[in-house]
Amino acid sequence: MKTQNIQVTDIVQATTTNADAMPLYLLLKKEMTNDTCIVLSFRDATPLSSSFLNTAIGNLVDDFGLDYVKAHLKIVQCSKSVFDTLKRYFDNLAKVQDL
Amino acid sequence: MKLQINTDVSKGEWVAFIEQNRCKNQSGSVATLEIDFSMSSFIEPFYLVSLACLIEEYSINGTTISFSPFDKLELREYLLSGYFLSFWKKSFDRYEDYFTASNSTSLRLWKIDSTKVSEYVYKAQNYYEIRYLQEKNATPLNISLAELFNNIIEHSASPVSGFVLNQYYPKNGKLKIALCDLGVGIAHKINSYLAGKGEATLSDKEAIIKAFELSFSSKSIPQNRGRGLDTLKTIVLSCNGTLRLIANNYSLSFNVKGKGKFDGFSLKNEFCGTLFEIILDTNAFDKKSEDEFDLLF
C-alpha cells in the first residue's frame, strides 16, 4: 500500500466548523479512494470541534466504513487535547457502529 | 418605548421579561427603544447576552436604540468596557480591533458571525491564556465556544444570529460563558424533528435531555451526528463546571457535584430561544505541554 504524509495545518486554516474541514475531507477521500495509507500529522493543530471531525472523519466513515478508515489512517504528532478528542471521537464511532 | 432593566430577579423571571418585551410581541412598529439601567446595580453576562438579542431584534427592524443616563459608576464602567453602550451606535464598528483593544477580564460583547467563529474561538483562547492563564491550556474554552456557535448556526434558525460574552473571575479562576439566540429553542427543534419522523413528541424537559444524548441529532444539516452537546457536557464535567440551559418551557442544569445528573424546572412562560450559561474552572485546565501523541488503531 502506498503511503502519503499529510500535515493538517497545511490543508486547513482552522478546525472549528464543518466548512473548515472540507478541504481535508476531500483530500483524505481522494487518497483513500486510491487505497493510500495516510500518515496524518496534527502538529500545531488548534483544538478540534465535533463539527470539524464530523466532516473530516465522519464523512470518510460514511464513505468507506470505520474499519477501512482505521486501516488507512495513522494519526501522529497530536497534542494531548487533540489526542483525547480524536480518541473519544473514534471510540464513539465504534460504539455507534456496535449498536 | 422604554425598558426598565431590573436584574434583581430570578433567571426564569428574567427570560419571561425578555420574551414579553421582544419586538415580535409588540403591537405595531416601535420607533425608539430606550434602555434604562438606573434600577440595576450589577448585570451578569447571562442577562446581558439575552438583553443584547432583544435590542438587536428591534434594531434589525428599524428601531432607534438609546440608553438613559444613569449614575451607577461601577455598572457604567462595566458596560462601557464591554462596548455595550456603544454597540448600537451607527458609527460603532462591531468587529474592528476586537481583541487588541481590550485588556479586561471580560471580552467585548460579540454578535455571532458565522464567517468569523473560527477566528473568534482561537483568539478568545489566546486572549485568556496570555493575560490570565499563562501556564494553562484553554482548549476547553475554545471547544466549548465552538460547540455553542456551531449549535446556534446549524440549528437555531434565529432572527438574531446570537450574542456571546465571556467573563473571567481571577479570584477563583472561574470562566463564565453566556450565549443567547432567539431561535426556535432546542426543545421545539427536537420535537419538530421527531414529529417529522412520525414519532411521539416529548416534554420540553425530555426533549432538552434528549439533545445531550450521544449520537442523537435533529439533522439540521447532513453532517450533524449528535456530538456537539455531548462534547460540551464532557468538557463542563471535566472542568469542574456547571451548565445551565434555558429553552422554551424548561431550565436545565447540571454540574460536576451532581455527577452530571440533569436537574431543572419548568418555566411559567415560554422563552422562544436558547440561552446557555457555562462556568468552567480554569484550575482544572491542563498545563501547557510540548508532548506529542500518536493514535494507533
- Chain A residues within 8 angstroms (CB to CB) of chain B: 13-18, 20, 43, 46-55, 58-59, 70-71, 73-81, 83, 85-90, 92, 95-96, 99
pLDDT digits (tens, 9 = 90+) for A7-26: 999 999 999 999 999 999 99
Q: Does B134 contact chain A (CB < 8 Å)?
A: no
Q: What is the rounded CA–CA span in Å between residue A20 and residue A12?
A: 6
Looking at CA atoms only, how far is residue A73 from chain B in angstroms?
A: 8
pLDDT at residue number B147: 96
Amino acid found at B156: S
Nearest residue to B94 (alpha-carbon basis) of B125, B59, B129: B59
CA distance B293 to B262: 34
Q: What is the pLDDT of residue B100?
A: 61
Coil, helix or strand for B284? Answer: helix
Judged by CB atoms closer than 8 Å, whether chains meet at B122 and A14 is answered as: yes
The strands making up B163-169's β-sheet, listed across from edge to edge, are: B110-111, B163-169, B174-181, B263-281, B242-255
Most A CBs within 10 A among B119, B139, B152, B233, hence the mutation to make, goes to: B139
B190/B207 Cα distance (integer angstroms): 6
Three-state secondary structure of A5-72: EEEHHHHCCCCCCHHHHHHHHHHHHHHHHCCCEEEEECCCCCCCCHHHHHHHHHHHHHHHCHHHHHHC
- Contact assessment for residue A50 and residue A88, using Cβ atoms and an 8 Å cutoff: no
Its sign, for the CA torsion B37, B42, B47, B48, is positive
Q: What is the model's pLDDT at position A95?
A: 85
Angstrom distance (rounded) from CA B205 to CA B154: 21
If you write DSSP's letter for every residue of B223-276 in order, what string do you get? T--S-HHHHHHHHHHHTT-EEEEEEEEEEEEEETTTTT--EEEEEEEEEEEEEE
Q: What integer pLDDT is reported at residue A48 of this predicted model?
A: 97
Which one of A48, A51, A93 would you mutate to disrupt binding with B, by most B Cβ within 10 Å of its Cβ? A51
Answer yes or no: do A76 and B291 touch at CB < 8 A: no
Instruction: Please tell me whether residue B198 adopts helix, strand or coil conformation.
Output: coil
Gap between the Cα atoms of B274 and B225, Å rounded: 20
The pLDDT score that the predictor gives to residue B108 is 87
Q: B2-284 maps to which CATH number?
A: 3.30.565.10
Averaged pLDDT, A62-86: 97
E strands in chain B: 2-4, 32-36, 64-67, 110-111, 163-169, 174-181, 242-255, 263-281, 293-295
Which residues in chain A touch residue B125, judged by CB atoms under 8 angstroms apart? 47
Cell of B55: 435590542
Q: What angle do CA A83, B165, B218 make, to 5 degrees?
A: 60
Q: To probe the interface with A, which of B136, B224, B293 has the most A CB atoms within 10 Å?
A: B293
For residue A7 the three cell numbers come to 500535515
- Candidates A5, A56, A1, A47; CA nearest to B225 is A56
Low-confidence stretches of chain B (pLDDT beneath 70): 97-103
For the stretch A30-68, pLDDT in tens is: 999 999 999 999 999 999 999 999 999 999 999 999 999
Please compute Rg for chain B using Cα positions: 19
Does residue A99 surpass a pLDDT of 80?
A: no
- A55 CB neighbours in chain B (<8 A) are 223
Which residues in chain A touch residue B294, judged by CB atoms under 8 angstroms apart? Answer: 74-78
Please give the pLDDT value at position B142.
Answer: 98
Beta carbons within 8 Å of B115's beta carbon, 6+ residues apart: none
Minimal Cα–Cα distance from B117 to chain A, Å? 8
Confidence (pLDDT) at B102: 61
Q: CB-based contacts of B164: which residues, under 8 Å, 6+ apart? A: B49, B109, B110, B112, B145, B148, B149, B177, B178, B179
